[in-house]
Each structure stands twice: as C-alpha cells, then as structure tokens.
Amino acid sequence: MGQNISNTELKTQVVRPSFDRSALKSRIVHIGFGAFHRAHQGLYTSEMLEKTGLDWGICEISLFGVDLIKQLRAQDHLYSVLEKDTDTITAKISGSVVESVHPKLDGTQAVLDKMAEPQVAIVSLTITEKGYCADLSTGHLDLNNALIIADLAEPQSPKSAIGYIVEALRIRKEASITPFTVMSCDNVPDNSRVAKQVILDYANQLDKTLGAWIEQNVTFPCTMVDRIVPAITDESFTELTEHLGVNDPCGIVCESFSQWVIEDDFVNGRPEWDAAGATFVKDVRPFEDMKLRLLNGSHSFLAYLGYLGGYRYIYQTMADDAFRSATLKLMLDEQAVTLSMPEGTNLSAYANMLISRFSNANIKHETYQIATDGSQKLPQRMCESLRFHLENGTPTPWLILGMAGWMVYVGEQDEKGEKIIVNDPMIEQLREAYSGAETADEIVLALLGLSNIFGTDLITNKTFVSTLTNAVDQLKQFGAQAVVVKTLQSTL
C-alpha cells in the first residue's frame, strides 16, 4: 500500500486507536466529511470508543468531495488530526469511521439504503449554513432553492441533505423501522431546530402524513461545537506529514482546545460522548449563544477588518494591539451583556481564553476563510446582539464597525484596490445591491435592504443607519487599522 496511515510506518509518538475497529457498526451516519467534523465529532467518537469499548462506528456520507472519500477508503477510513497549542503538538489517528458512501461513487440509492439500515440510530450533519436550504431570517425552508426545487420534483432521487434525510425517514416509516435522531453540528443558532423546521417543511410539501410522523417520532437535539480548524495549506500539510512520518490527504491541523455541548434528546440511543469530554445538558441555547456571539462574532469582526487591513491570519490581527483591545471590548462590552447564562458562568474568563486562542501563532486561521458565507453568518453573530442594544439604547461601536467591515469587504475590493474574490451564496444579490451604489449612504441602504440577512427593522432605525454609514465612509477613507485605532480612542 506504500506510505499510508493504515500501515505501520507511522512515527512512534503518534497516538493510535487501540480498540477493535472490526467490532464497530455504522450506528452513526454523518453527512459532510469536512475538516471540522474530522477534528471534532469524528475524533470525539474515536476517543469515546477508546474509553468505553462501545460499537458506535460512523459511516461518512459526502454529497460532494469525491476525491476525499476515495482517499479515505484507500487508508481503511483512518485519518489524522494534529492538535497544536502554543507549547505542544500532538498527532492522533481517529479510528471511528468504518465506512463511507458517495452518490457519485455508489449511487443515490446506496446512500438511502445505508441511512435506512435499522442499526443507524443517529444522522449527524456538518453541511454549513447553506446546506440547510433555509431562509435563515425566518428559519423556514427556502422553496426557491434550486436543490429543493429539484428534490421536490424527484424526491426519490434527492440532491440535498434535507432531501436525503426525508426520503430515508420515509423508507424507514414504510418499513416500520425505528427512526433515527437528526443532530446538527453546524454553527447555526438552534442548529437542530433549524434542521427540524426545514425537514418538516420539506416533508409536508410532499406528504403531510409523513411530516406528522417525523414531528411525532424524530428528535432533533441541538449542539454547541467549538474548535478552531483552519483550512489545510501546503505548509500545514507538510507539518502534518513530518509529525506522522507518512502522507495523509485526509488529515487536518487544529488547535488543542475543543468543546461539545449536546442536548440530551435521542430517540434511538446515543454513544457516551461524555466519556471523551462532551457535556450533555437539557438546554444548549445559552452555550450556543455564548459561542456564536463571543467567539464567532469576534472571528467575523477580525476576518473582515483584518483582511481589509492587510492581515492574512487571525493570529496576525491579534498581534496588533489595537485589534486585540477592540476584540476584547467587542466581547465584553457588546456581546457578553446580551447573554443569559447559567449561574457560575464566567464570561470574562471565557473572553480572555478566546483572546489567547485567537493569538495562537501555531494556528494559521486565514481571515479569508472565516469571511466566507458572511451573509449566512451575520444574522446570528452580530444582528441579534445589535437589536438588543438598539432596544436598550446602548452604544455598539464595535458591532457597527464589524458590520461596516463586511459591507466594505463584499464590495469586492480591498484597501489597495485589489479584487477580493468574495465566497458567498448571495454573491449575485450582493453585486446587484452594490451595482448602483457609490456613496457610503447608498451602499448601506442597498445592503440593509436585503431582508433575508437584516430583516426589515434595522433599515428603519435612522440613528443606526447614520452611524453605520459613517463607519463605512471612515473605512473607505482611512482603512481598517486606522479606524480601529480611532474608535478605540473614542471609547476610552
């Protein structure tokens, strides 16, 4: 087989699974074999198996990425994770994945057959915000989504994750097989509630009896997931190879910190993920809001303003004292105060831990990567906090500056006049909004008019619109770094 992580050529310090992988069953089907899943749920499951001896294996389903699944199969479904903090680096092999199915390799029916197998108890998802085919401003299914239009026309040959789940549940219903739990692991507020709503909307479009059965019999536990997992680069792949001693095209590099909070609501059993450090709770929402607003909101702030300011990586923005101070102020002064946390939660300690994590120079997290899909992320990361402050009449210089940074960024030109390749599912609408806008005032009104991002309320608040317009104008005149410094001075 040559150099491969499934043989014995790994360096001796690499942490390998010692449990019997042949005893595992595909009791979890996961849709979306992306880097985050590999570093998070996949590794949590492997470490749970190491400690419990249970048989909860994972079958990976990728609706894209044929090459990655081929590579995964070539190494017996093993893959590597390189965990890095500021002082130590640990290479691990995850052994939780036992098989994989891909519609282009195996056919659509093979995917549905796998999801319908009786031992499959959980279908988990990391499909990103756009994979839910939802209008995130309403939480309902977007019936104008091209994938949904195609799936409703041919529901037994689905293309979307939503279409696959509903068709698999229909098959199980018709065969009197116990349904599976649907568990989202995406950074979407009330993630599995969003999944539930679009799944019910879709099912009811096809058959209201099926929709009612799903609502009565399927559970949708929400989760809060946290781990910084940068996109793999040539540099990080070389480092991974050096620590492994072999090549692993499925390997990823991430920070050592990880967190997983799970709503304990499973219809068909669950693994003991808490043995690997996960936390089961009755209500995930407070932890989810904490992470979305403090971590993700700050990440977006740093991504747009940092990219505009010429910083390629998050750790570089944090080496700038102005950005570092601004980020902590955003977290504590504007985001933390919007939260209602369980007694004993120390938000100041959490914020300072995030500052330390963002500053980890061993994690090269690109500002451009975090800036992806901003139209899908802003509502939960910034807009909800902004509404809290507008209602309470409290100032929000950093939330407004972060939003202004996004507005300048999606104009597709950086401060040096070079083109930004904006990666966003709404890029055509964003370009159309920008097309007739020249002044800051025109840009702000055109973008705020996109109600599926901003709703219909923000554009009616004249004071907010004026302040945001000024921030956009300042960014265009003076640049991100100078405006961050100026804003800091004005808030002292």
8 Å CB contact between 96 and 50:
no
In a domain, 10, yes or no: no
**Tokens describing residue 139:** 């939480």
Share of the chain above pLDDT 70, in %: 98
pLDDT at 136: 64
In this structure, are 183 and 78 located in the same domain? yes
For residues 184 and 198, give the distance between their C-alpha atoms in angstroms, rounded to a whole number.
Answer: 12
Residue 4 lies in a domain: no
Q: What are phi and psi of 436, to 5 degrees?
A: -105, 10
Contact 268, 181 (CB under 8 A): yes
Q: Are 49 and 17 in contact (CB under 8 A)?
A: yes
In a domain, 429, yes or no: yes
* pLDDT(111) > 80: yes
pLDDT in tens, 243-289: 999 999 999 999 999 999 999 999 999 999 999 999 999 999 999 99
Tally of helices (H runs) and strands (E runs) in the chain: 24, 13
Q: What pLDDT, on a 0 to 100 scale, did the predictor assign at position 235?
A: 94
Q: What is the mean pLDDT of residues 54-80?
A: 96
State the pLDDT at residue 129: 87
Kindly tell me if the per-residue pLDDT of 396 is higher than 90.
Answer: yes
Q: What is the mean pLDDT of residues 288-302?
A: 95
**How high is the pLDDT of residue 455?**
93
Tokens of residue 259, six digits: 């967190």
Mean pLDDT across 294-299: 96
**pLDDT of amino acid 2:** 37
Q: Are 367 and 250 found together in one domain? A: no
Written as one string, the DSSP assignment of 407-472 is HHHTTTB-TTSPBP----TTHHHHHHHHHT--SHHHHHHHHHT-HHHHTTTGGG-HHHHHHHHHHH
Mean pLDDT of 81-85: 96
Number of domains composing the chain: 2
Contacts of 448 (CB under 8 A, 6+ apart): 454, 458, 459, 465, 468
Q: Please report whether residue 101 resides in a domain.
A: yes
**Cα(150)–Cα(97) distance, integer angstroms:** 31
Q: Is it the case that residue 192 has pLDDT exceeding 90? A: yes
> What pLDDT, on the 0 to 100 scale, is given for residue 87?
87
Report yes or no on 275 lying in a domain.
Answer: yes
Say which DSSP state 269 is in: -
Cα–Cα distance between 483 and 490 in angstroms, integer?
Answer: 10
In this structure, the answer to whether residues 316 and 426 fall within a common structural domain is yes
Under 8 Å between Cβ of 414 and 420: yes
The per-residue pLDDT for 8 is 63
Residue 59 CA to residue 333 CA, distance in Å, equals 44
Per-residue pLDDT, 1: 28
Judged against a pLDDT cut of 60, whether residue 234 lies above it is answered with yes
Specify the length of the chain in residues: 492
Same domain (yes/no): 474, 385: yes
Compute the distance between CA of residue 389 and CA of residue 333 in angstroms, rounded to an integer: 11
CB 442 within 8 A of CB 473: no
In this structure, are 70 and 163 located in the same domain?
yes
Instruction: State the pLDDT at residue 139.
Output: 80
Q: What's residue 35's pLDDT? A: 96
Distance CA 347, CA 337 (A): 9
| For helices 480-491 and 297-308, angle between their N-to-C axes, nearest 10 degrees | 130
What pLDDT band is residue 30 in, cutting at 50, 70 and 90? Answer: very high
Range of the domain at 329: 285-491
Q: Does residue 199 contact residue 161 with C-beta atoms inside 8 Å?
A: no
Boundary (domain end) residue, out of 281, 310, 336: 281
Q: What percent of the chain has pLDDT over 90?
A: 92
Is residue 217 a contact partner of residue 255, using CB atoms and an 8 Å limit?
no
Predicted pLDDT of residue 187 = 82
Segment 378-387 shows an average pLDDT of 95
Chosen domain end from 281, 300, 324 = 281
Q: What pLDDT was estimated at residue 7?
A: 62
**Does a structural domain hold residue 11?**
no
Decide if 75 is inside a domain.
yes
Arithmetic mean of pLDDT, 122-136 = 92
Same domain, 277 and 293: no
Statement to judge: residues 240 and 294 lie in one domain: no
276 shares its domain with 293: no
pLDDT score recorded for residue 188: 81
DSSP state of 368: H
Residues 276 and 291 reside in one and the same domain: no
* 204-231 average pLDDT score: 96
Mean pLDDT of 377-397: 96
Q: Are residues 276 and 289 in the same domain?
A: no
- Which residue spans within 143-218 are E strands per DSSP? 181-184
What integer best gives the mean pLDDT of the chain? 95
Q: Which of 257, 281, 305 is the last residue of a domain?
A: 281
Single pTM value for the model: 0.84
- 264 and 330 inside one domain: no
pLDDT of amino acid 336 = 98
Distance CA 178, CA 407 (A): 47
Q: What is the amino acid identity at position 121? A: A
Is residue 311 domain-resident? yes
The domain that holds 191 is classified in CATH as 3.40.50.720
What's the CATH number where 430 sits? 1.10.1040.10
Instruction: Check whether 177 has a pLDDT greater than 90.
Output: yes
Q: Calculate mean pLDDT across residues 119-142.
A: 91
